Amino acid sequence: MTEVRSGGAQGVPFDALIVGAGFSGLYQLLCLRDRLGLNVEILESASGVGGTWYWNRYPGARCDSESHAYCYSFSDALTQEWEWSERYPGQPEILRYLDHVAERFDLKRSIRFDTRVTGATYDEESRLWEVTTAGGERLSTRFLVAAVGCLSSANVPDIPGLASFAGRWYHTGEWPHGGVDFGGARVGLVGTGSTGIQAAPVIAETAAHLTVFQRTANYSVPARNAPLTQEFRRYAKEHAADIRRTMHTSYNAHPFLISDRRAVDTPQKEREAIYEAAWAKGGLQFRATFRDLLSDPAANETAATFIKNKIREIVKDPLTAEKLAAIDHPYAAKRPPIDTGYFETFNRDNVTLVDVRATPIERITPEGIRTRDAEYPLDIIVFATGFDAMTGAMLRMDIRGRDGLRLADAWAAGPRNYLGLQVAGFPNLFMVTGPGSPSVLCNMPVPIEQHVEWITAYIDHMRRNGLSSIETTEAAMDAWVAQVNEAAAATLLPQASHSWYLGANVPGKPRVFMPYAGGMPKYRRICADVAANGYEGFVLGA
Ligand code: FAD
Ligand code: NAP
């Protein structure tokens, strides 16, 4: 293992600082410290590693990528030694995995926990970033890697009266480590995205009453979670290379490919049978049943109708079923949830659905939530209201680049960038899975590994060539933003007008489709070509 020299403390600048110790930051640390031998540390606001899996401890939290794919693939030894217990492991198990990775690769000695980065300013003369933390530290570094997460900035809605609420309230993305006891409580759950859909069935098991406040009805397909058989575990280990190859070929970086069939060309009976089989199998494979689901509205309608009919079959009360099935956007145009007994939960006597699109929440009172036509007394409110996605964590740091340019100003009209990796005016600052990259449309460990390895290779290239700064250009950003828009326009994704992909869930946020929807394999090729062509679109400075 490479010996690291002390950085920062004696005024020696770090070669690199990484912000964030989730999947991205941990691997970035390993690459820069142990493969390149750089003097590097992670700054992490949490008290431990894990990122998403450190913060999201709400009841029912688990992944919707399958366990054998929701992990790193860079180390064959790691793949072979780690045993997943379930098809979709819960939060504690994923956190244990990331903790194991941090221990196994001796990463924790290079991480400063409980350290929130509050600012980063680029100094033109020294070509260094000066990073400030909430604790008052000032650290300088050549490279700054923001591994701050796409879904790490909790979005608590600004509902009047919240401060007056006499009960307890929680956001799922900042869940108390000791858990929350719902026993005998009247619980209000606001939000029916992937999180609310996971949390509702579990909360309903112990709450006296659960009221689900639904603004936008949502699709969901059963997860069919189950313990992994010995046979499957053996298969996943023996075929790790093949699985990796499939993930690298697949549009969404999952370990399965999207079918070649078109829904619109498939006879109805056969199509229904395919949907039935996918429903029975469960999981995000449902989205992969036909290749035209996300490009042809008529094809999408067939999947949407199938799921809406399932909702009506499952939910016994017809009025509740209609509210749940009144979905106003194409299937999978918002990130499609998978669930364990979500729709069935509304058959319980202790669960009520409130349609807050029809009767909006007016305010929170000391007693509970008041909508336009009723008051719901509550002891606990759970906000499953999502995140200021893709840009929130970046903008919560006060980042100032060349000539004092604030990132917040550079992104006033939306997060312009090149390849989701860099922004003009911010030399030597990299984002891992930033806006403009495929990231959130994928099984994320795959794009995370690709970004981290690309950034590592780039920094290595610079060092080998005696270069000290790298920065993208306005022209490269314009061209990339055009490609991102073009890729989105070829899909139905922008049609979910209230999705966080568009920033629509945060009041005042520019409405721009943020992820790159051209698919992970194409994106990987683009990045490889950029590197092969002498880092096209970047200006390298001595
Ligand atoms: P994160 O895990 O978000 O880590 C970022 C870290 O940066 C955090 O620890 C945060 O504390 C730290 N940080 C941020 N700002 C600062 C600052 N200013 N100073 C210091 N530290 C800072 N993806 C999938 O592909 N499949 C799934 O099944 C899946 N399930 C998910 C379930 C939930 C509940 C959520 C919220 C997301 C899920 N995701 C899933 C997306 C998930 O975020 C990624 O898979 C992955 O965990 C992201 O890792 P990351 O390291 O990039 O970011
Ligand atoms: P989300 O998808 O943004 O959903 C937030 C929900 O809260 C939506 O139903 C939204 O309604 C509602 N909401 C927001 N503000 C509201 C308000 N003021 N009043 C009423 N309702 C309000 O957030 P999320 O469910 O936390 O999921 C975010 C992402 O995290 C997912 O898309 C996924 O990528 C990831 N995730 C994955 C899993 C998994 O299964 N692996 C689990 C959880 C999260 P509108 O739709 O009307 O805005």
With a 6 Å cutoff on the Cβ, whether 20 touches ligand 1 is: yes
Q: Which ligand is in closest contact with the Cα of 336?
A: 2
> What pLDDT does residue 11 have?
72
Nearest CA to ligand 1 atom 18: 117
With a 6 Å cutoff on the Cβ, whether 154 touches ligand 1 is: no
What is the number of other CB atoms lying within 10 angstroms of the CB of residue 426? 24
Helix (H, G, I), strand (E, B) or coil at 328: coil
Angstrom distances, CA of residue 296 to CA of 299, 407, 459: 5, 37, 42
Report how far ligand 1's centroid is from the alpha carbon of 409 (Å): 25
> What pLDDT does residue 5 have?
34
Report how far ligand 1's centroid is from the alpha carbon of 374 (Å): 37
At 403, the amino acid letter reads D
CA distance 482 to 485: 5
Report how far ligand 2's centroid is from the alpha carbon of 499 (Å): 9
Nearest CA to ligand 1 atom 53: 149
Do residues 136 and 54 share a domain? yes
End-of-domain residue from the set 383, 406, 432: 383
Q: Is 19 exposed, middle or buried (0-12, 13-18, 19+ CB in 10 A)?
A: buried
> Ligand 1 pocket test: which of 444, 451, 500 has the largest number of ligand atoms within 8 Å of its C-beta?
444
> What pLDDT does residue 10 have?
57
With a 6 Å cutoff on the Cβ, whether 392 touches ligand 1 is: no
Q: Is 404 exposed, middle or buried (0-12, 13-18, 19+ CB in 10 A)?
A: exposed
Do residues 517 and 395 share a domain? yes
Do residues 377 and 266 share a domain? yes
CA distance 421 to 419: 5
Do residues 373 and 434 share a domain? no
Q: How is the beta sheet containing 375-377 ordered, strand by strand?
A: 361-364, 368-371, 375-377
Do residues 43 and 146 share a domain? yes
End-of-domain residue from the set 351, 383, 415: 383
Nearest CA to ligand 2 atom 23: 386
> Ligand 1 pocket test: which of 151, 194, 430 has the largest number of ligand atoms within 8 Å of its C-beta?
151
Do residues 175 and 321 share a domain? yes
Q: Which CATH number does the domain housing residue 111 bear?
A: 3.50.50.60
Structural domain containing residue 275: 162-383
Give the chain's count of helices (H) and strands (E). Answer: 16, 20
Separation of CA 175 from chain center: 17
Separation of CA 490 from chain center: 22
Q: Are strands 186-190 and 429-431 parallel, antiparallel or unpaired?
A: unpaired
With a 6 Å cutoff on the Cβ, whether 335 touches ligand 2 is: yes
What's the full length of the chain, in residues?
Answer: 542
User: Can you give the pLDDT of all 542 residues of the chain as single tens digits?
Assistant: 333 333 555 578 999 999 999 999 999 999 999 999 999 999 999 999 999 999 999 999 999 999 999 999 999 999 999 999 999 999 999 999 999 999 999 999 999 999 999 999 999 999 999 999 999 999 999 999 999 999 999 999 999 999 999 999 999 999 999 999 999 999 999 999 999 999 999 999 999 999 999 999 999 999 999 999 999 999 999 999 999 999 999 999 999 999 999 999 999 999 999 999 999 999 999 999 999 999 999 999 999 999 999 999 999 999 999 999 999 999 999 999 999 999 999 999 999 999 999 999 999 999 999 999 999 999 999 999 999 999 999 999 999 999 999 999 999 999 999 999 999 999 999 999 999 999 999 999 999 999 999 999 999 999 999 998 899 999 999 999 999 999 999 999 999 988 999 999 999 999 999 999 999 999 999 999 999 999 999 998 86
CA distance 492 to 286: 17
With a 6 Å cutoff on the Cβ, whether 431 touches ligand 1 is: no
What is the number of other CB atoms lying within 10 angstroms of the CB of residue 488? 20
Phi and psi, residue 156, nearest 5°: -90, 120
Report how far ligand 2's centroid is from the alpha carbon of 191 (Å): 6
- If one counts the domains in the chain, the total is 2
| H or E, element range at 295 | none
Report how far ligand 1's centroid is from the alpha carbon of 447 (Å): 13
With a 6 Å cutoff on the Cβ, whether 341 touches ligand 1 is: no
With a 6 Å cutoff on the Cβ, whether 433 touches ligand 1 is: yes
Do residues 232 and 112 share a domain? no
What is the number of other CB atoms lying within 10 angstroms of the CB of residue 489? 11
End-of-domain residue from the set 368, 383, 398: 383
Nearest CA to ligand 1 atom 4: 51
Tokens of 494: 């922008």
Tokens of 236: 């996943």
Do residues 298 and 405 share a domain? no
Do residues 143 and 174 share a domain? no
With a 6 Å cutoff on the Cβ, whether 61 touches ligand 1 is: yes
Do residues 357 and 234 share a domain? yes
For the whole prediction, is pTM greater than 0.85? yes
With a 6 Å cutoff on the Cβ, whether 63 touches ligand 2 is: yes
Do residues 352 and 240 share a domain? yes
> What pLDDT does residue 40 have?
98
With a 6 Å cutoff on the Cβ, whether 418 touches ligand 2 is: no
Q: Which ligand is in closest contact with the Cα of 67?
A: 1
Do residues 511 and 405 share a domain? yes
Nearest CA to ligand 1 atom 2: 51
Nearest to residue 448, comparing CAs of 27, 16, 56, 19? 27
Report how far ligand 1's centroid is from the alpha carbon of 453 (Å): 18
> Ligand 2 pocket test: which of 194, 219, 502 has the largest number of ligand atoms within 8 Å of its C-beta?
194
At 84, the amino acid letter reads W
